[in-house]
Structure 1
Amino acid sequence: MNHGTAVVDFDIYVIGGHDDWKDLDSCLCFNAVTKTCREVAPMNERRRSLSVAVLRGAVYAMGGHECEHREDLRTAERYDCKTNQWSWIAPMNTERRCASAAALNDKIYVAGGHVSLFNSLNSVEVYDPDTDRWTFVAPMHSEREDFTCVAFHGCLYALGGRNWTSDALSTEKYDPTEDTWTEVPAMNFYSDYLNAEVFDDTIFVISRYSDKGHFGSRVACFNDKENRWYQAANMNVRRSFLSTCVIKNLPNARDYAYKHRDKLMEEKCKKKMAE
């Protein structure tokens, strides 16, 4: 739980998190073509609720929380897939856990999160790998944690999440050329612990949700040409604390299609009719 996920080529990296007993520094790598999983070099620090991004073929792990010492982290490190080594990079300016990160314009942005109790953040900082420096940029309109960031059409979108006063936060995007955040149409639901991915030139948001005591997984998509959100088909299985990723040009993508969807839909229809 509370791990990070990153994709390099056909490899999915599952990084850090915790196993209910302790925080983890481990990193597992699953190859989606060979369907094999292996353990690769561990991080230099144990991290849960960390932020993860991929830039120039390297995996970055930033911030998070180390429970044994009750410490929120600002340290950051980079994994070289070719040498199987983690190395330190410059630490962030601010300790952050439950933040979100994305790569945009050959830099890494880390936004929001929280530090200590009752202290959600709206600050945003950007890492330049050429100078090994973190720099603050314009803050978000809302403090938020347990949200998701995604780069799309040259902008950084901040979606969902919560803070200590609200769990119904606006949707906003950052334009790096103007160093400004502007609001965009709100999603058709509010949620935390959600994930966003870009697929087929569209933002997809996958989230857990609760409706009158019923829990499930909801999917929405954003069309920026129409500047509106659409409801997409929900997942077949309910999930919380999920991670998502997109693998481009996967030759055996059909192997991962849900093989029992027709049977599942028939069962859902029968259940709905019985109600």
Structure 2
Amino acid sequence: MNHRTAVVGFDIYVIGGHDGDEVSNSCFCFNAVTKKCREISPMHVRRCCLSVAVLRGSVYAMGGEGNYETHRTAERYDCKANQWSWIAPMKIGRENASSAVLNGKIYVAGGRDGQNSLNSVEVYDPDTNRWTFVAPMLSRHDSLSCVEFHGSLYALGGHNGTSYKLSTEKYDPKEGAWTEIPAMNLYEFELNAEVIDDKIFVICDYYDPKYFFHRVASFNDKENRWDKAADMNVCRSGMSTCVIENLPNASDYAYKHREKLMVEKHKEMLKGKCNRPSTHTHSSFF
């Protein structure tokens, strides 16, 4: 758990994480077409709660936590050579940060420095092998999720050490500034965000059957609003998400018993509502 995934072609790279006993530096590659998995070269250091990105066909692993240390080191994986190499370290050690590629550069935002939640954002330029700061976020975000969407960097969810109700915001690189967008109105800690069908989808990464935190929402930037999407089939914690484009055998991964599962979930939710006090005041679109 607390690993990260990255996609190159039809290959899903599973990087680092924690097995319940220790932090790992191991990495695996799963091909979604052949459905074969192989172990690849390990990272130089052990990392969980790290940030990953794919740029110019290489996989980058940045920051994270390992051996009770918050890393600021970063490394790059050459898929063809099966080799990790060091790149310049980040300005700040970060765990539970999030990253995305925007205009040919890697942005790493928020996270924790081992003690405090961060609102700082730094950018890696592969041509100069240098990190530089850009404008900080409006709020401190720990355990957030970042995505690139329509030329902007979106920072979604997380907490600042005291509250989960943070601003949901986006960064315009032309203006060099962050602005707020509508709140998601759902559990906002340890979300996973991806872009599919010209929308941002966020998936709740939290296991608690009592509250059914396996919900999904989508953001429509044309109407500047969040909408409910279909729930995940199963609650998950410490997960990672990724998107593969034009997968020829995508139907192989469709859940074949979804209708039966949805009926069972509906019955459970109705039963839970009947047993729930009538003083419920939480505001949500679900």
TM-score by length of 1: 0.95
Q: Which residue of 2 aligns with 1:13?
A: 13
Distance change (3 Å), C-alpha of 1:35 and 1:170? same
Distance change (3 Å), C-alpha of 1:212 and 1:3? closer
Q: Which residue of 2 aligns with 1:95?
A: 93
Q: In the alignment, does 2:242 pair up with 1:245?
A: yes
Q: Which residue of 2 aligns with 1:85?
A: 83
Question: Within 1, Cα distance between the matches of 2:249 and 2:160?
Answer: 41
Secondary structure at 2:213's aligned position in 1?
Answer: strand
Secondary structure at 1:225's aligned position in 2?
Answer: coil
Structure 1 unaligned blocks of 5 or more: none
Alignment of 1:26-65 (within 5 A): 26-65=26-65
Q: Which residue of 2 aligns with 1:226?
A: 223
Contact 1:63 1:97 in 2 (8 A): yes
Contact 1:74 1:94 in 2 (8 A): yes
Q: Which residue of 2 aligns with 1:116?
A: 114
Question: Within 2, Cα distance between the matches of 1:250 and 1:181?
Answer: 34
Match of 2:73 among 67, 72, 75: 75
1:136-187: CA deviations, max 9, x gaps? 0000010111110000000000000001121111100000111100001111
Distance change (3 Å), C-alpha of 1:199 and 1:212? closer
* Amino acid aligned to 2:37: C
Q: Which residue of 1 aligns with 2:103?
A: 105
Query: Of Structure 1 and Structure 2, which has the larger fraction of its residues in strand?
Result: 1
* Amino acid aligned to 2:199: T
1:62-110: CA deviations, max 9, x gaps? 001112xx21110000001011000000000111011000011000000
Q: Which residue of 2 aligns with 1:160?
A: 157
Alignment of 1:138-149 (within 5 A): 138-149=135-146
Identity %: 69
Which is worse superposed, 211-220 or 88-97? 211-220
Contact 1:14 1:27 in 2 (8 A): yes
Contact 2:207 2:237 in 1 (8 A): no
Contact 1:169 1:190 in 2 (8 A): no
Secondary structure at 1:214's aligned position in 2?
Answer: coil
> How many residue pairs get matched?
272
The alpha-carbon deviation at position 214 of structure 1 amounts to 2.5
The alpha-carbon deviation at position 190 of structure 1 amounts to 3.4
Secondary structure at 1:216's aligned position in 2?
Answer: coil
Question: Within 2, Cα distance between the matches of 1:190 and 1:198?
Answer: 19
Q: Which residue of 2 aligns with 1:24?
A: 24
Question: Within 2, Cα distance between the matches of 1:25 and 1:210?
Answer: 25
Q: Which residue of 2 aligns with 1:172?
A: 169
After TM superposition, which residue ranges in structure 1, 4 or more long, deviate above 6 angstroms?
Answer: none
Structure 2 unaligned blocks of 5 or more: 275-286
Distance change (3 Å), C-alpha of 1:98 and 1:107? same
Question: Within 2, Cα distance between the matches of 1:146 and 1:208?
Answer: 10
* Amino acid aligned to 2:58: A
The alpha-carbon deviation at position 272 of structure 1 amounts to 5.2
